Amino acid sequence: MDENRHTRFLFTRRAVLETATATAALCAGLPQVALAVGPVDAETSPVPVTVELQINGHPHVLRLDPRTTLLDALREHLALTGTKKGCDHGQCGACTVLLDGRRINSCLTLAAMHDGQPITTIEGLADGETLHPLQAAFVAHDGFQCGYCTAGQICSAVGMLNESRMGMPSYVTESLALARPELTDAEIRERMSGNICRCAAYPNIVAAIRQAAGGPA
């Protein structure tokens, strides 16, 4: 039941995205400045950089103002708007993506720094129509209210579970000698502290991650 509801939701989102992409294509003939982000500095015109981003397994060659963050490249140049801009200063985690499988804040890194590197966004997690286990768990546990932080929460949780499987410790890990610290609720909360949810869906987010990690639902 929950699955069906989510599938419908996905279709709706996809339709919106396709429309947005089509609109972007129609606008392709317009001057590039129409798509530029932020004020353009008139004193010095930046030398553009060419970068090939490997997003969700697909190469994208972009010619960018060097100031373009990875987040803005995704949202404004590739219409991958699943990744959200919250604070734009690395404080909220809404922009979390996976760089070579590791979670990072896409707002605090330049697209130019990631030429040729594999990046996974929320759009790249599902396998066709089959949700990623963490996406399914967030739906099952209602791990959101407004949903704005959700893409970042889910990408962060994917990275966090990788870190946990590799045995990385956290600030609350009792003993640094443990090869693989147990993923208690306290561990999940500490490891997810870089993702803020202003609706405070935290109990359900923790429950979703606990389930996806293989713990009790």
Which residues of this chain interact with another protein, rule CB under 8 A?
A: 38, 41, 43-47, 49, 65-67, 69, 88-90, 93, 96, 99, 102-105, 108-110, 112-113, 156, 159-160, 163, 166-171, 173, 176-177, 189-195
Element (H, E) at 61: strand 58-64
Based on CB atoms, which residue is closest to another protein, 140 or 188?
188
CA–CA separation, 151 and 123 (whole Å):
9
Based on CB atoms, which residue is closest to another protein, 122 or 140?
122
Indicate the burial class of 109 (C-beta count within 10 angstroms; 0-12, 13-18, 19 or more): middle
CB distance 107 to 89 below 8 Å: yes
CB of 125 to another protein, least distance (A): 17
CB of 56 to another protein, least distance (A): 19
Based on CB atoms, which residue is closest to another protein, 47 or 61?
47
CB of 21 to another protein, least distance (A): 27
- HSE-CB at 121 with a 13 A cutoff on CA atoms is 22
